[in-house]
Amino acid sequence: MNTLIAVTGPTAVGKTALTIEIAKHYGIPIINADSRQIYQELKIGTASPTAEQMQQVKHYFVGTKSITDYYNASMYEQEVVQLLEKLFVDSPVQLLSGGSMMYIDAVCNGIDDIPTVRDDIRNEMKRRYQEEGLDALCEDLRRLDPEHYEVVDRQNHRRVIHALEICYQTGKTYTSFRTQKRKERPFQIVKIGLTRDRQELYDRINQRVDTMMSEGLLDEVRSVSAYRSTNALNTVGYKELFDYIDGRWPLEEAVERIKGNTRRYARKQLTWYKRDEQVTWFHPDQQDKILKFISHYE
């Protein structure tokens, strides 16, 4: 039976190095499941695979979109499932790896078939948010979809706006599209989680941020500053440096905030993944043990 190996874990845990070795072992590509590495302009701040790593193993969904493109987990699910149909012809084992919880879930469990929002609807909701504010949009959502209004994070303008976009485009409630039914896949899925001692992980995160800064993260952030309102740039590492550019705080404080917010994001990732009883956990250094574990499903 065809098998998808899904490797996940918190940021900076060591997914890239390990999955390259797994991919080389099986002679297969890596399907990236990092929602920010997909953007070509965000190489340094997302720790995208290097040119050398990309030469060693073919990577899909790395640098294939622009930050001005509209993209979401539903679109990603469709494209990955279509790609897997082709890849399984060449090998019964394929590899998915990344730290974006929604992207991993979209491929493994499916995502609700929520329509892609039209540009005119999206632009109109952006205008309303800028002119009327979040409170007015929340009241609109309460009127159009009271059920979702009760559960949505009403401080998160993106979630409120997206629900309203669906309501206006379809004439139906956002709630009506959220079936949350798990989709059956024509392949088995083996989930591998990577983890480290917390202090070890935090040290790696801190070192990674320092490395990003030395590699030119600030210049990268400046180069995309004109697009800071896009969803792609609502990302740790970029938000803090935008605030530095705006004079909100010194560079040293911005860097410390990146480290702190990245550590918090890593904790959030681990909390999410540890709810999934299908994940088998390993230290990234246990390559031989991981390959042996995968071999049982070939």
Ordered DSSP codes for 256-273: HHHHHHHHHHHHHHHHHH
Least confident of 162-171, 196-205, 209-218: 162-171
Q: Are residues 132 and 279 in the same domain?
A: no
In 3D space, the residue among 46, 116, 51 whose CA is nearest the CA of residue 79 turns out to be 116
Six-digit token pair at 116? 């892609």
Instruction: Report the domain count for the chain.
Output: 2
Confidence of residue 72 (pLDDT cuts 50, 70, 90): confident
> The CATH number of the domain where 154 resides is what?
1.10.20.140
Q: For 217, list phi and psi in degrees, rounded to 5.
A: -60, -40
Question: What is the C-alpha R_g of the chain?
Answer: 20
Kindly report the average pLDDT of the chain as a whole number.
93
Residue 284 CA to residue 227 CA, distance in Å, equals 36
Residue 259 CA to residue 31 CA, distance in Å, equals 27
User: pLDDT over 70 for what percent of the chain?
Assistant: 99
Total-model pTM: 0.82
Amino acid occupying residue 56? Q
The length of the chain in residues reads: 298
In 3D space, the residue among 207, 211, 188 whose CA is nearest the CA of residue 199 turns out to be 207
Q: Are residues 57 and 77 in the same domain?
A: yes
Give the pLDDT of residue 180.
Answer: 64
Q: Which helix H or strand E contains 168, and what residues bound it?
A: helix 157-170
Helix-then-strand count for the chain, H and E: 13, 6
- Please identify, among 177, 203, 226, the residue that sits at the C-terminal boundary of a domain: 177
pLDDT by residue (tens digit) across 224-261?
Answer: 999 998 888 989 999 999 999 999 999 999 999 999 99
Of 212 and 101, which is predicted with more confidence? 212
- Please identify, among 131, 146, 177, the residue that sits at the C-terminal boundary of a domain: 177
Give the pLDDT of residue 177.
Answer: 81
Domain interval for residue 133: 119-177
pLDDT at 285 over 80: yes
Give the pLDDT of residue 183.
Answer: 86
Q: Are residues 247 and 123 in the same domain?
A: no
